[in-house]
Amino acid sequence: MTSDRDILALGDLDGADILGMLTRAQELAACWQAREMPQTLAGRRIALVVDDGGWRNTTAFDLGARSMGGLCVHAPIRLNATEAAEDLAAYLDNWFDAVVCRTPELEMLYALSHWAQAPVVNARTRQNHPCETLGDLAFLWHRHGAIDGLKIAVVAPAANILGSWIEAAQVLPIEVVQVYPARWHAPGESPRFRVATDLGELQDADVIITDCWPRDDDAGDLQDYQITAALLDGLRPDLDFLPCPPVTRGMEVSGDAMLHRACRVVQAKAFLLHAQNAALEWVFGAL
């Protein structure tokens, strides 16, 4: 019953398919600037399910689908509520060609995907955030012409942002290192993912990613891991600093770090739209 065109976790995908999306995102970025979007989603009906807040990537899905000729409808559904996943899947299949869903638990998306004939796209869970990482990767491709060999330093706890960078390292030619106090390290190192506590790992990083401090934070443990302008001044001049929104100034980043020349978060988040548009094309076999 399930589709083979789901996007639930980057590690589930073929690396070549992801690279194809990143390449296509560059073309779609040019189309967007020219206001000449291809109508490759014409006639496609997409359900947008949001049951945990947020606005950036869901707004981009809505805008992107409509700009390419698709019909996007907000469906006020909550997974793991009163209706079973198999029932929700069947009802959604009656009307929609794909379901984009932002929900707390990844396992519920896998359950929906298992029962649905339509492809299911993960717009964020507590465990991972594949679209956010796709957008950043598309921007890095735009900046560097490729992503091969990039060292990504994730100064963040084990949470959804790090989760998708770990997934990306499973299938793409990048190196990901989590730089954070040991109590918040992600389990399970692999050939292209490892953990560290030493901020010296930032010296040769191509990219620094941040995420919000954990709620059980100990300021004494985390203050040394705040990204500041002074710290960025001491790193490589071509560094890309991409703090993940929402940014908490005075915690994981300082106010002056957001003004630093290395901070390209606004430019990077523009590519969220283009990467998600490319992902929708892939979901429907148009890529």
Instruction: Tell me the pLDDT tens digit for each residue of 148-181.
Output: 999 999 999 999 999 999 999 999 999 999 999 9
Residues 174, 180, 184, 187, Cα dihedral to 10°: 30
Q: Average pLDDT for residues 234-263, to the nearest whole number?
A: 96
pLDDT at position 284 over 80:
yes
What's the rounded mean pLDDT across residues 43-58? 91
Residue 189: which pLDDT band, with cuts at 50, 70 and 90? confident
Task: Look at residue 78 in the predicted model and tell me its pLDDT.
Answer: 87
Q: Which residue has tokens 């396992």?
A: 107
Whether the pLDDT of residue 103 is over 90: the answer is: yes
Q: How far apart are CA 147 and CA 48, in angstroms?
A: 30
What the block records as the tokens of 3 is 């589709």
Write down the pLDDT at residue 2. 59
Distance CA 223, CA 226 (A): 5
Residue ranges, CATH 3.40.50.1370, the chain: 10-130+272-283, 132-269
0.85 exceeded by pTM: yes
Q: Which fold has domain 132-269?
A: Rossmann fold (3.40.50)
pLDDT over threshold 60, residue 1: no
**CB-CB contact of 222 with 213 (8 Å):** yes
Contact indicator for 128, 164 with CB cutoff of 8 Å = yes
Determine the pLDDT at residue 51.
85
Percent helix, strand, coil in the chain, to 5, is 45, 15, 40
What is the topology classification, in CATH, of domain 10-130+272-283?
Rossmann fold (3.40.50)
Q: Are 212 and 234 a contacting pair, CB within 8 Å?
A: no
In terms of Cβ atoms closer than 10 Å to its own Cβ (0-12, 13-18, 19+), residue 194 is middle
Q: Give the model's pLDDT for residue 262.
A: 98
